[in-house]
């Protein structure tokens, strides 16, 4: 038995074409439709107006007041939505990590709803918040407000829509981190008289800090890159990076400009996701192997 | 210990209220879209003047070709992914080789790239290849962004499968292809189907990458919806068209969760 297993392993190691050939189509596909487009973007962004090659476009990007405002605004909205998701998502992640009830199942499936369509999240927020829409009708019916609120093109709405769309990217890393905490630690603290708040402050949050970092990295990287929600819900005075990129392609593209904006966006999201893989993912797999 | 029991009950009630509100909020978003498709009138207002099915009959006839384009694009992107992902996942789950971790990371990389950046890069590539507004161009673009959603369930299906079953079949004299078709494929089938359905849902609804690359010959429904909103604002017919998109997505999601089970959804998001 052992002999046979060993022989099959050595056979597999030596036969490199049997590894390379099945991987080749997928990797070629990635090379053409993922790596090449990103490399081209990078090259376009390095092409300076005078014809030289350098970081001139990036310097211009950070010197331009309008673009700096767009970047600040994008980062602020994304950060606010990440904070919202951290506060909303932590209890959800805790529940999913600890309980196996029908409610946990329902929550898990419900979290998937917004995932495939930022466009629909935006449509729904529009329907909900129109002056004669659902929310205002309910509020005026119960005399909470006398006049309809104009909530549609405001920061809170934009942030809430982002929050709904990105929630799974916060909950899943958090859940994995909380799952790795032995429930006995919590129980011991409780038996020794710790309150719920103390358990959260002293035990859960410190022990799940990897998950918090991971959730924040993933969620923020995702939020910065969202396109469809700000396309529908953003308003004058709330410029967004991805929207700028889209409109710069509409009427005659200035490639170096559009590519520089895209490259900045790429560096933020890719950098944070990569940081997530390096910092958070390995501990998770090591733990899984230890179990 | 009645106080302990009471506090436990209170705790349970609080969890129920919080999670119930969250689930209700998530569903409300989408029930609202459905509900508005039945509202009577020219403009949308709440509460409605009456309920009607008329909106569905008044959807612009241009919507249905767009819907067909979306269905075909989603399906083709899924099938392209099946062909590329099965051999790759097989190798990744069965062999140890240098650079394997790197390849594993590369294969989930489409999730790490902003859709807008990828779309602009693809626009540059397609402008050069003359592939803007071509069917295969859109299928490839959808294929690359949905690939991670195909790979993860297929990989986990391969990892859960016992390789000795294949070896047993080989020992009993079956050829490579016969083993694959009769032993491997049925065992990884649920994972492949889960990946196909996930890819389909995402490709069917994809908007961001498509809006950079579409054209009049290949106009998918999601872009059509945005164009309608941009030109006419929200109307009951618009709500009806959105409701049809939602019904398709929910039907597929229902099959995914109900028939195949949540097992393959665990790692669907990172």
* Residues A39-93 pLDDT 10s: 999 999 888 877 778 888 888 888 888 888 999 999 999 999 999 999 999 999 9
Contact (CB<8Å) B23/A106: yes
Q: Which of B46, B84, B109 sits opposite A34 (nearest CB)?
A: B109
CA distance B244 to chain A (A): 12
- For residue A268, what pLDDT is reported? 94
Q: How confident is the model at residue B263 (pLDDT cuts 50, 70, 90)?
A: low
Percent share of chain B, pLDDT over 90 = 30
B179 close to B169: Cβ distance less than 8 angstroms: yes
Contact (CB<8Å) B26/A224: no
| CA geometry: angle A234, A240, A241, nearest 5 deg | 155
How many angstroms separate the CA atoms of A108 and A104, rounded?
A: 6
Q: Identify the sign of the CA torsion A65, A67, A68, A70.
A: positive
Over residues B121-145, the mean pLDDT reads: 92
| CA geometry: angle A221, A222, A226, nearest 5 deg | 125
Residue ranges in chain A assigned as alpha helix (H): 2-14, 17-30, 36-46, 56-63, 65-98, 102-112, 118-129, 134-141, 155-179, 183-191, 196-198, 205-207, 209-224, 228-233, 241-248, 255-279, 281-290
Please provide the size of chain B in residues: 270
How many angstroms separate the CA atoms of B48 and B132, rounded?
A: 43
Burial of B226-261, coded b for 16+ CB within 10 Å and e otherwise, reads: bebbeeeebbbbbbbbbbbbbebbeebbeebbeebe
- Which parts of chain A register pLDDT below 70? 1-15, 282-291
| CA geometry: angle B156, B161, B166, nearest 5 deg | 135
CA distance B202 to chain A (A): 5
- A138-157 tens-digit pLDDT: 888 888 888 877 888 888 99
- For residue B94, what pLDDT is reported? 82
Residue B44 reports pLDDT greater than 80: no
Two tokens, residue B147? 């690939």
Percent share of chain B, pLDDT over 70 = 94
- For residue A284, what pLDDT is reported? 44
Q: How confident is the model at residue B105 (pLDDT cuts 50, 70, 90)?
A: confident
Contact (CB<8Å) B22/A124: no
Spell out which residues of chain B touch residue A19, defining contact as CB-CB under 8 Å: 91, 95, 97
Contact (CB<8Å) A120/B205: yes
Over residues B20-44, the mean pLDDT reads: 83
- For residue B4, what pLDDT is reported? 66
How many angstroms separate the CA atoms of B118 and B112, rounded?
A: 10
Q: Which residue from B minimizes the CA distance to A247? A: B212
- For residue A41, what pLDDT is reported? 92
- For residue B177, what pLDDT is reported? 81
Model pTM?
A: 0.87
Q: Which of B96, B120, B201 sits opposite A245 (nearest CB)?
A: B120
Spell out which residues of chain A touch residue B84, defining contact as CB-CB under 8 Å: 25-26, 29
CA distance B85 to chain A (A): 7
Q: What is the mean pLDDT of chain B?
A: 85
**If you search the block for the tokens 């990569």, which residue do you land on?**
A274
CA distance B116 to chain A (A): 6
CA distance A234 to chain B (A): 13
- B135-175 tens-digit pLDDT: 999 999 999 999 998 998 888 888 888 888 888 888 887 87
Chain A with chain B: Cβ pairs closer than 8 A: 240
- B160-213 tens-digit pLDDT: 888 888 888 888 878 778 888 888 888 888 888 888 988 999 999 999 999 999
- For residue A56, what pLDDT is reported? 83
Q: Bigger pLDDT: B270 or B102? A: B102
DSSP string, chain B: -HHHHHHHHHHHHHHHHHHHHHHHHHHHHHHHHHHHTTB-SSS--SS-S-B-SHHHHTS-TTHHHHHHHHHHHHHHHHHHHHHHHHHHHHHHHH---TTHHHHHHHHTGGGGS-HHHHHHHHHHHHHHHT-TT-HHHHHHHHHHHHHHHHHHHHHHHHHHS-HHHHHHHHHTT--HHHHIIIIIHHHHHHHHHHHHHHHHHHHHH--HHHHHH-BTTB--HHHHHHHHHHHH-S-HHHHHHHHHHHHHHHHHHHHIIIII-GGGGTTS--
CB atoms under 10 Å from CB of A46, counted, come to 18
């Amino acid at each position: 038995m052992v002999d046979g297993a060993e022989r099959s392993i050595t056979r597999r190691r030596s036969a490199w074409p049997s590894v390379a050939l099945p991987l080749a189509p997928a990797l070629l596909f990635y090379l053409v439709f993922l790596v090449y487009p990103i490399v081209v973007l990078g090259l376009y962004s390095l092409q300076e107006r005078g014809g030289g090659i350098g970081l001139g476009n990036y310097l211009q990007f950070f010197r331009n007041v309008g673009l700096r405002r767009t970047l600040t605004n994008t980062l602020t909205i994304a950060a606010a939505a990440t904070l919202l998701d951290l506060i909303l998502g932590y209890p959800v992640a805790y529940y999913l990590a600890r309980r196996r009830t029908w409610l946990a199942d329902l929550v898990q499936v419900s979290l998937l709803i917004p995932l495939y369509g930022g466009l629909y999240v935006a449509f729904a927020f529009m329907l909900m918040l129109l002056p004669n829409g659902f929310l205002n009708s309910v509020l005026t019916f119960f005399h909470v407000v006398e006049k309809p609120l104009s909530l549609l093109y405001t920061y809170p709405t934009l942030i809430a829509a982002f929050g709904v769309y990105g929630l799974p990217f916060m909950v899943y890393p958090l859940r994995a981190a909380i799952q790795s905490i032995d429930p006995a630690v919590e129980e011991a603290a409780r038996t020794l008289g710790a309150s719920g708040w103390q358990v959260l402050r002293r035990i859960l949050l410190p022990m799940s800090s990897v998950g918090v970092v991971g959730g924040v990295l993933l969620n923020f990287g995702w939020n910065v890159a969202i396109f469809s929600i700000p396309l529908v819900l953003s308003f004058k005075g709330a410029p967004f990076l991805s929207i700028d990129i889209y409109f710069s392609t509409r009427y005659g593209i200035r490639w170096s400009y559009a590519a520089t904006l895209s490259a900045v966006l790429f560096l933020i999201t890719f950098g944070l996701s990569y940081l997530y893989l390096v910092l958070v993912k390995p501990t998770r797999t090591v733990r899984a192997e230890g179990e | 210990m009645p106080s302990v029991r009471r506090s436990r009950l209170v705790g349970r009630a609080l969890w129920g209220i919080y999670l119930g509100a969250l689930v209700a909020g998530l569903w409300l978003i989408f029930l609202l879209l459905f509900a508005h498709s039945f509202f009577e009138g020219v403009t949308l207002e709440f509460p409605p003047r009456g309920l009607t099915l008329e909106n569905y009959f008044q959807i612009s006839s241009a919507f249905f070709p767009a819907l067909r384009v979306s269905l075909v694009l989603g399906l083709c992107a899924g099938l392209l992914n099946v062909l590329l992902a099965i051999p790759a996942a097989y190798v990744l789950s069965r062999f140890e080789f240098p650079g394997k971790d790197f390849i594993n990371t590369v294969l989930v990389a489409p999730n790490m790239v902003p859709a807008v950046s990828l779309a602009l890069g693809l626009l540059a590539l397609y402008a050069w290849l003359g592939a803007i507004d071509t069917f295969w161009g859109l299928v490839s673009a959808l294929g690359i962004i949905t690939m991670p959603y195909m790979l993860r369930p297929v990989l986990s299906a391969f990892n859960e499968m016992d390789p000795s079953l294949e070896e047993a079949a080989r020992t009993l004299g079956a050829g490579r292809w016969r083993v694959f078709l009769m032993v491997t494929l049925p065992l990884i089938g649920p994972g492949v189907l889960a990946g196909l359905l996930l890819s389909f849902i995402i490709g069917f609804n994809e908007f961001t990458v498509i809006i950079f690359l579409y054209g009049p010959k290949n106009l998918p429904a999601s872009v059509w919806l945005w164009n309608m909103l941009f030109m006419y604002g929200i109307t009951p017919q618009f709500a009806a068209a959105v409701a049809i998109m939602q019904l398709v997505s929910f039907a597929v999601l229902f099959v995914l969760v109900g028939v195949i089970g949540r097992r393959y959804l665990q790692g669907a998001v990172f």
